[in-house]
Amino acid sequence: MKNEINGKTKIIGIIGRSIENSLSPLIHNQIILKYSLNFCYLPFQTTKTNLGKAIQGIKALNIRGVNITFPYKEKVIKFLDEVEESARRIGAVNTIVNNKGILTGYNTDVIGFKKSLQEDGKFAIKGEKAVILGAGGVSRAVVYALLEEGIEGICIFNRTPEKAEKIKKDLSPFFPGSNINIFPLEEERLKDKIEEAHLLVNATSLGMSPKIDNTPLPDEKLFHSDLLVYDLIYYPAKTLFLRQAEKAGAKIINGLPMLVYQGIESFYLWTGLKPESKEILETIQRIA
Ligand code: NAP
């Protein structure tokens, strides 16, 4: 396991607004180390005003590719040469590949979410009902992943219901017969809908460090033991939402497996190498 920077080292990295606490550099540089590859993954912090210049810089500096994170996953699309179909439908890109000066955008959050749900959550998706709290950028990828796998029904609860309506309007044409219902977050029907569901996802940022006393669910009695409760947040590893769900006897999963799997998928797009995901996840769980 040798890691040496030299004239042939290929650069990959992450572009975002505040990425000081991002785990992506750790994940990718662990993979690079493990497979002794001549790559290096770097953080590139940029402002909204400089985003276009930063994307041009990928070409100018012959960077192999980057991840795109909050809040630029949607804004970045206009600076790309090509966008892969599912990323275009979702309207968000989290990975850019530079192929001889042609920049192509992908969305690996979809596959990351799906894989974590199926492998870590042992959740089959098809024919199930899900409640999703939140309608921001990541919620779009979550809804897309569930529809692609044949979920029977999705209820989205969001503080700003118009944003959830937009997700429904944008995505349902690609999935004829899809069943998506929208409600405001502070809605009494949350109780009934959670009772009917087997999957409850927190796709809001409520509970994320440093505001760890926040939770999107107003009442912990709404959890039940027949639920898989999934919090997309990975810092802290166990949010208040997950702690309350666990207390109610529900099975829980946090956002780390998804983060690792989407990263592995991006890594594959840049290098053609698909690392062993369970081993990488265990390493990151141990050292993060
Ligand atoms: P985003 O686009 O900013 O969306 C934030 C969501 O949280 C929106 O639904 C927003 O509601 C809701 N929200 C924020 N503050 C709220 C409040 N005070 N009360 C009620 N609702 C509130 O963010 P995002 O990119 O979708 O990310 C959401 C979360 O997912 C973050 O915690 C992020 O760390 C996590 N994430 C995890 C992964 C992973 O790989 N595990 C990947 C991406 C994101 P409004 O629409 O009403 O504003």
Identify the pLDDT of residue 246. 98
**Is the pLDDT assigned to residue 2 strictly greater than 70?**
no
> Exactly one of 73, 114, 115, 193 is catalytic; which is it?
73
Which of 14, 120, 142, 159 has most ligand 1 atoms within 8 Å of CB, for mutation?
159
**Is the pLDDT assigned to residue 3 strictly greater than 70?**
no
Q: Report residue 15: phi and psi, to 5°.
A: -110, 130
Dist. CA 78 → ligand 1 center (Å): 23
**Closest to 167 measured CA to CA, from 261, 157, 112:** 157
Q: How are beta strands 10-16 and 65-68 bridged, if at all?
A: parallel
Structural contact between residues 167 and 146, judged by C-beta atoms closer than 8 angstroms? no
Rounded-to-5 percentages of helix, strand, coil across the chain: 40, 20, 40
Question: 184-239 pLDDT, tens per residue?
Answer: 998 789 999 999 999 999 999 999 999 999 999 989 999 999 999 999 999 999 99
Q: What gap in Å lies between CA 272 and CA 93, rounded to an integer?
A: 19
Mean pLDDT of the chain: 96
Question: 235-279 pLDDT, tens per residue?
Answer: 999 999 999 999 999 999 999 999 999 999 999 999 999 999 999
The answer to whether 163 is a known catalytic residue is: no
Question: 111-136 pLDDT, tens per residue?
Answer: 999 999 999 999 999 999 999 999 99
Identify the pLDDT of residue 217. 94
